Structure 1
Amino acid sequence: MSIEIKFATGNIEKSKEVNSYFEEIRFERIDVPYPEVQGRLEEVASYGVDYVYDEIKEPVIVEDSGLLISGLNGFPGPYSSFVFETLGNSGIIKLLEDKKTRESIFKTVIGYKDNERKKIFEGKIEGEIAEKPRGDNGFGYDPIFKPKNSEKTFGEMKRENKNEISHRRRAFSELSSWLNSKDI
């Protein structure tokens, strides 16, 4: 059985990554911008999937990820994309210069909607922020996020290794399990 679902994202790398997870599910990237409400990641995904579904009237997902850094009281959280574009990895490291903890959580929330259902899925991974960016793989915060029990940042890992443990993979695995249990 093969399932195809629209995936509203402007991030081509993210689309490539999630399409490497499963053979039985394909996520067709569509570029339908949606307003990102200010609030928790769950609120952003919930509002976004409602907005995109109202536009296209087909089963669709939106995904929002955030880096929540303990030493910065959960910042940048839902503002991770904007903060990355504004400060970049070096800016995050600079913000942590005098902080005692570098612990962080990388979290992904997926909103799914079709004509009958709306559901939210979550995946997260604990880790810490590296002292400096390391590695050229991945995108975004990958060069500074070091998962718990790993000496490597996501940026130093091969895509396959990162994809086995990442927050995004965990959220998409929850979605996949749910989709495979439904008659879609």
Structure 2
Amino acid sequence: MIELIFATNNAHKLEEVQAIVGKKFLLKSLADIDCHEDIPETGVTFHENAKQKTDYLVNKYGLNCFGDDSGLEIDALNGEPGVYSARYSGSRDMEKNINLVLEKLAGIANRTARFKTVISLNLNGQQHFFEGSIEGHIIDERKGADGFGYDPIFIPNGYSKTFAEMTADEKNSISHRAVAVQKLAAFLSN
């Protein structure tokens, strides 16, 4: 079994990624290695933020690890919230972040959007990147109780349910993170 540190303390993310990679990999969180500091995310792209996380862990702990940065890009908002998705309203309160998105989209017909993920893997001194995205649109009101982040207002193309209305298995078979993680898992399996 391959053991990897995932540069996150987000339990939802850890569960989601572990479900996608299966039993061949054992993922450990930052808490599992006693890393409790906030890793900087000062990049202006998903690549930069993902790289910052893994570089931090390699420099401080010398461990093989991967980290991701993900976000929602809305066309009518010129790609916002983008890399600022987790703190779009100025806080990490997702209710406030969703409210801000819905306020900014009020009266706007073009609701096209996408979720993107970039994973940075630092393995044995080499860095690799894996990307995933899923196209969809933003709806006017929250639907569903599962998932996290912007899941209650995002419907992927070809579906009639938000990510928050889908089962974990449904979401994990199509999500932006699933696409990137599947590329990561395929790379590690070789």
- Indicate whether the TM-score tops 0.5: yes
| Superposition pairs of residues 64-83 of structure 1, within 5 angstroms | 64-83=69-88
Q: 8 Å contact 1:145–1:154 — kept in the other structure?
A: yes
1:101 pairs with 2:106: no
One-letter amino acid of the counterpart of residue 18, structure 1? V
Give CA deviations for 1:75-108 in whole Å, capped at 9, x if unaligned.
0000001116253222211110122311001001
| In 2, Cα distance between equivalents of 1:99 and 1:130 | 11
Look up the match of 2:136: 127
| Superposition pairs of residues 150-161 of structure 1, within 5 angstroms | 150-161=159-170
Q: 8 Å contact 2:86–2:97 — kept in the other structure?
A: no
Give the SS at the match of 1:78: helix
Aligned length: 180
1:5 pairs with 2:4: yes
| Superposition pairs of residues 135-146 of structure 1, within 5 angstroms | 135-146=144-155
Moved over 3 A (4+): none
Is 47-56 or 127-136 further displaced after alignment? 47-56
- Once the 2 structures are TM-superposed, how far is the Cα of residue 23 of structure 1 from its aligned partner? 2.0
Task: Name the structure where helix makes up a greater proportion of residues.
Answer: 2
| In 1, Cα distance between equivalents of 2:8 and 2:152 | 22
Give CA deviations for 1:116-172 in whole Å, capped at 9, x if unaligned.
211111111000011111000011111011000111000000111011000001000
Give the SS at the match of 2:151: coil
TM-score, normalisation: structure 1: 0.93
| In 2, Cα distance between equivalents of 1:74 and 1:88 | 15
Let me know the Cα RMSD of the aligned residues.
1.3
Look up the match of 1:38: 43
Look up the match of 2:158: 149
